[in-house]
């Protein structure tokens, strides 16, 4: 109700400004918001999720807005993407709405305050939800040296995260998606796995690792990636990030803008990637489905195709927080 009144105002200003205003208001008045979470417990990756609906990474890159976001009914929240060093991201404007398609183009470029800031934020917050921390590499770090950044970020967030997501799928960091090729991914996941073992021995606690992939993968690459997930004992796959494909928005005047496309137009591609990975993984490794989920019907479709959990982002922008409760009621 409240969001339906605020939405026209928020959509009348620059998208990134509206993002900052809305999250700032949510945090400021969070104490007045009743807890709306519906309890539908599910166990995935050995973790007990209050319900299977989560917030995708990207909305709260620095874990600055957890008090407010925790009131919206999510069973889990994924913060980040965070990098070892702070970085400003790409020049503005870098976030664009396509309302008639209920979609968004972003080329944010991993803008964040750095992992040390994020760790301070999550350490100071109570967590009545499962917390995922999404990590990436700095723009100035060569792709060949990406493992160094992932190792450092893992070491910093290991005790604060309930699970850690390795993001190799953003289209807005040059060369990052090259890490999805079989040889590069094999080397990266070996390093990630070894780092996890070291941290596990040091802290005597295991943190599940998820890998987030792009929706633009060739179908032929999926079985190979699935085999590498098994080989390196990765705990979960997140499918998927934003797409570079503009075929479903060619009529829009902003279709030429560089960046990743999310929202309703990503739904069919996300369904396909989910189905292909589910076929390849055969439930040996759970899948979190994300991309184009803006209705209860679409959420149900993802679970039917094999997802164990789902995440929303663009759907929250266009439908508001009521989408979470609506979806939980339907499933």
- Asked if omega into 240 is within 30° of 0 (cis), the reply is yes
Three-state DSSP class for residue 87: strand
Beta strands in 200-242 (DSSP E): 209-213, 236-239
Beta bridge partners of 48: 43
What is the strand order of the sheet 95-98 is part of?
95-98, 103-106, 260-263
What is the distance between the alpha carbons of residues 68 and 160, in angstroms, rounded to a whole number?
A: 19
What is the distance between the alpha carbons of residues 18 and 202, in angstroms, rounded to a whole number?
A: 43
What is the distance between the alpha carbons of residues 220 and 24, in angstroms, rounded to a whole number?
A: 43
**Catalytic one of 70, 103, 170, 295:** 170
- The tokens of 19 are what? 């993002």
Q: For residue 170, indicate whether it is catalytic.
A: yes
Catalytic residues: 170
């Amino acid at each position: 109700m409240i969001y339906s009144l605020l939405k026209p105002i928020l959509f009348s200003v620059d998208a990134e400004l509206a993002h900052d205003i809305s999250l700032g208001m949510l945090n400021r008045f969070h104490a007045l918001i009743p807890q709306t979470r519906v309890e539908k417990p599910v166990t995935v990756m050995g973790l007990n999720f209050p319900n299977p609906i989560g917030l995708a990474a990207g909305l709260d890159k620095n874990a600055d807005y957890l008090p407010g976001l925790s009131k919206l009914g999510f069973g889990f929240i994924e913060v980040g993407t965070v990098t070892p060093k702070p970085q400003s991201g790409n020049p503005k404007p870098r976030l664009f709405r396509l309302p008639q398609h209920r979609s968004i183009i972003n080329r944010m470029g991993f803008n964040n305050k750095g992992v040390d800031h994020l760790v301070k934020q999550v350490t100071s917050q109570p967590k009545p939800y499962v917390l995922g921390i999404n990590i990436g590499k700095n723009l100035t770090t060569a792709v060949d040296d990406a493992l160094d950044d992932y190792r450092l970020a893992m070491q910093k967030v290991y005790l604060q995260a309930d699970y850690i997501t390795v993001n190799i799928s953003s289209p807005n960091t040059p060369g990052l998606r090259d890490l999805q090729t079989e040889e590069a991914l094999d080397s990266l996941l070996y390093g990630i796995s070894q780092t996890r073992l070291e941290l596990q021995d040091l802290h005597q606690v295991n943190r599940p690792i998820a890998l987030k992939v792009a929706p633009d993968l060739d179908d032929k690459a999926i079985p190979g990636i699935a085999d590498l997930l098994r080989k390196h004992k990765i705990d979960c796959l997140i499918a998927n990030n934003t797409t570079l494909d503009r075929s479903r928005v060619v009529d829009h005047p902003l279709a030429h803008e560089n960046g990743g496309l999310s929202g309703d137009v990503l739904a069919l591609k996300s369904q396909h990637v989910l189905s292909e990975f589910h076929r390849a993984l055969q439930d040996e490794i759970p899948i979190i489905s994300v991309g184009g989920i803006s209705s209860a019907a679409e959420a149900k479709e993802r679970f039917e195709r094999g997802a164990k959990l789902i995440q929303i982002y663009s759907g929250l922008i266009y439908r508001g927080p009521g989408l979470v409760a609506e979806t939980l009621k339907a499933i």
